[in-house]
Amino acid sequence: MRLAFSRFALAASLLTAGHALAQAPGAPPPAVGVVKVQPAAIVESADFVGRVQAVDRVSLTTRVTAFLDQRLFTEGAEVQQGDLLFRLERAPFETSVAQQEGSVADVTARLANATIQLGRAQQLMSSAAGHKSAVDDALAAQRSLAALLAVAQAQLTQAKINLEYTEIKAPVAGKIGRGSVTPGNVVSPTSGPLATIVSQDPMYVTFPVASRTLTALQKRYAAKGIAGAVAVHLKLPDGSAYGPTGTIDYVDPTVSPTTDTILVRARIPNPALRPAEPGKPVDRPLTDGAFVAVSVEGIEPVMALGIPRAAVLSDQQGTYVFVLGDGNKAEQRRIKLGQSTPAIAVIAEGLKEGETVISEGIQKVRPGAVVAPAPATPSAGK
């Protein structure tokens, strides 16, 4: 215990001596590197957390009740629009089509005969043997059969539609998931989805943006519009940068009342990692539902007052810098930052063009202390 106390006392003595030496009247001013506050070309960016979302999502269901005969796809593979995926039992529906075709043929023949009878009755009206009632009866019979023919033709059309429903094809291109029903089971419109297709390329990325931030972005890029003035970059869940660039194509018209954010959507390519092979799964970088880091960057740089990031300090009251004042004295100055980059801090308030700030050797600077300034090295803050 005595040894520990002695070490503490020795450290305290050395620290006190160090302060006394640093503050000694004869000590030279600390050397620091300084830079001028001047306009710089800044590529502004803002970071958000987004979620990948498929452009198209289709749940495949049957529209008729029948036995499931065949499943004609590989689970997890990509299918093309129009590919045959399921085939239902066709025989009952083919029989129905044949029955309706027979009904149409029967009514058609009866209608033709009724039309002939009507013509004969109308011819007899010019002779003494003709009766108007006979014409009326023949006309009513002809019209009734014409109506029956229309019904029979409609039933035939419905039977053909039901027959077509026995083949379930892909309405969109994309990756198909697991089949929920195996062949041999009866399926119906109430059976639920047989499988789900999720489109793959391109993809959507949706991310919430604070309404204040979105308003600022819209004002900043009012000339071109935010969709044409910014590019969307992603980082994958493992932290790696994603190559293709996206564009904003939709901004939700409603602000969330609970988070004060607006949902923004971008469209971005999702190419295959290797050439696709028929019937085999295709790997792509973006997966529906995945979280990604989203960076919205201006396409063209903007001019703004900037200083190296290394010159910016912060405490409980906010951010500040040391400005070189009269007599090379360091003056603490509170600032507000704008949309900055990892290397350059954009000054929104607190500094003017031409002022000099300290960017190197800041750890040796105290407010009001005299320093020995020199131009900072070109790599400072980068």
CATH number at residue 219: 2.40.30.170
**pLDDT value at residue 15:** 38
Band (pLDDT 50/70/90 cuts) for residue 206 is: very high
Which of 274, 302, 330 terminates a domain? The answer is 302
228 part of a folded domain: yes
Query: What average pLDDT does the structure give for the chain?
Result: 84
Range of the domain at 120: 91-165
In our burial notation (b when 16+ CB lie closer than 10 A, e otherwise), range 105-121 reads eebeebbeebeebbeeb
22 part of a folded domain: no
Which of 268, 302, 336 terminates a domain? The answer is 302
Answer yes or no: is pLDDT of 5 > 50.
no
83 part of a folded domain: no
Q: Based on the fold, state whether residues 265 and 297 are members of the same structural domain.
A: yes
Give per-residue pLDDT as tens, 230-245. Answer: 889 999 888 888 989 9
Q: Based on the fold, state whether residues 230 and 152 are members of the same structural domain.
A: no
The pTM assigned to this predicted structure is 0.67
CB 99 within 8 A of CB 158: no
In terms of Cα–Cα distance, which of 161, 56, 183, 141 is closest to 100? Answer: 161
- Structure tokens that stand for 311 in this block: 């010159």
CATH number at residue 150: 1.10.287
Within 10 Å of residue 166's Cβ, how many Cβ atoms?
Answer: 22
Give per-residue pLDDT as tens, 219-276. Answer: 777 777 777 778 899 998 888 889 899 998 888 889 988 888 989 999 999 998 887 7
Helix segments in the chain, DSSP class H: 2-22, 91-124, 132-164, 211-220, 226-229
Which of 302, 320, 350 terminates a domain? The answer is 302
- Of 21 and 202, more confident: 202
Q: Mean per-residue pLDDT for 6-24?
A: 43
Q: Based on the fold, state whether residues 205 and 276 are members of the same structural domain.
A: yes
In terms of Cα–Cα distance, which of 304, 306, 335, 301 is closest to 35? Answer: 306
Give per-residue pLDDT as tens, 296-332. Answer: 877 777 778 888 888 899 888 889 999 988 888 999 9
191 part of a folded domain: no
CB 79 within 8 A of CB 159: no
User: How many structural domains is the chain composed of?
Assistant: 3
Give per-residue pLDDT as tens, 91-135. Answer: 999 999 999 999 999 988 988 888 888 777 777 766 655 567 777
**pLDDT value at residue 130:** 57
